[in-house]
Amino acid sequence: MDSELLSGTFVDLADTMVADFDIIDFLHMLTDRSVALMSASAAGVVLADPRGALRVAAASSEAAGLVELFQIQNDEGPCLDCFRSGRSVTAADLAAPGTPWPRFAAAATQAGFRTVEALPMRLRDQVIGALNLFRATPGSFEPADLRIAQALADVATIGLLQERNLRRSETMAEQLQAALNSRVVIEQAKGKLAERLGSDMDEAFRLLRDHARNTNQRLTDVARSFVDSTSADFPAPPGR
């Protein structure tokens, strides 16, 4: 573990949390840093919708293959087991025979992953989601690294609770729905921008995020005004 990278990550995450931040952008940053810190190949945060589904809030890559790996886990997978048990779940080699999640393991190996770790996002006795780490090579993550990964999962939980608290107190359920709806707005904006530019979804997401950062706006606000705009031009022309 690179200790400079580690301290830098917690400084950046803390810096973000004292400002008026966008939860999806924050979780996206957290997945990016998890990948770098854990020498992982990919990472993602899924949240438990009270409707009964696990939904992707952020992933280190917006590529379709990775997103699909989270969606499959509504039926089976380490995330679902982690969410149900409230404990971290490890799969050291997805290609090994006898996996408890045949469909997930097949899709994950197909996407180029051999190892997966799911860490619970806990709020007191409630599990609100999970941080998923993927690695292209077989073999478990180091126990010392996993302690850091769990701390990152806890930071994700705190971020979710904190985001809008600056304005007023809200229940966890309200915050969670706001985050999930933000994600939907961003998906709609990605679709609109990808269609406008003929680009893929990953590229569309990067453009939206970069524009939000460069203009000091929240990612969700940029996405919402672009979807609401009657023009297909990005950024959305002022005044719609």
Partner 1 sequence: MSVNRATLLWGLIAEHATTAGLQVAAADVCAVAVSSAQVSGAWVAAASSRGPDFVMCVTDQVSEQLAELQQLLGEGPCQDVLADAAPVLAADLGDDESGRRWPGFAPEARSAGAGAVFAFPLMIGAIRSGVLGLYRSSPGPLSSLQLGDCLLLADTATVMLLDGLDGGGELAADGNGHGARPGGQSSDLAAHRVEIDQATGMLTVQLGISAAEAFARLRAYAYARDRRLADVAGDIVARRLRLDPDPAPDAGP
Cα gap 123→193, rounded to integer Å? 36
Residue 176 and residue 126: Cα distance in Å, rounded?
13
Among 39, 177, 199, 217, binds partner 1 (CB under 8 A): 177
125, containing H or E segment? none
Q: Can residue 192 be called a binding residue for partner 1 (CB under 8 A)?
A: yes
Is residue 194 at the binding interface for partner 1, with CB under 8 A as the rule? yes
Cα end-to-end span (Å), the chain: 48
The continuous run of DSSP H or E covering 68 comes out as: helix 64-72
Contact string 198-227 vs partner 1 (x = CB under 8 A): ---x---------------------xx--x
With beta carbons less than 8 A apart as the criterion, state whether 132 and 78 touch. Answer: yes
Among 19, 98, 125, 168, which residue interacts with partner 1 (rule: CB under 8 A)?
168
Q: Which is nearer to partner 1, 20 or 228 (CB)?
A: 228
For residue 151, state whether it binds partner 1 (rule: CB under 8 A).
no
Minimum Å distance from CB 17 to partner 1?
A: 19
Q: Alpha carbon of 74 to those of 70, 91, 129, 210, 213: distances in Å?
A: 8, 17, 12, 31, 32
Which positions lie near partner 1, rule CB under 8 A?
A: 49-53, 55-56, 64, 67, 71, 74-75, 164, 168-171, 173-175, 177-178, 181-196, 201, 223-224, 227-228, 230, 232
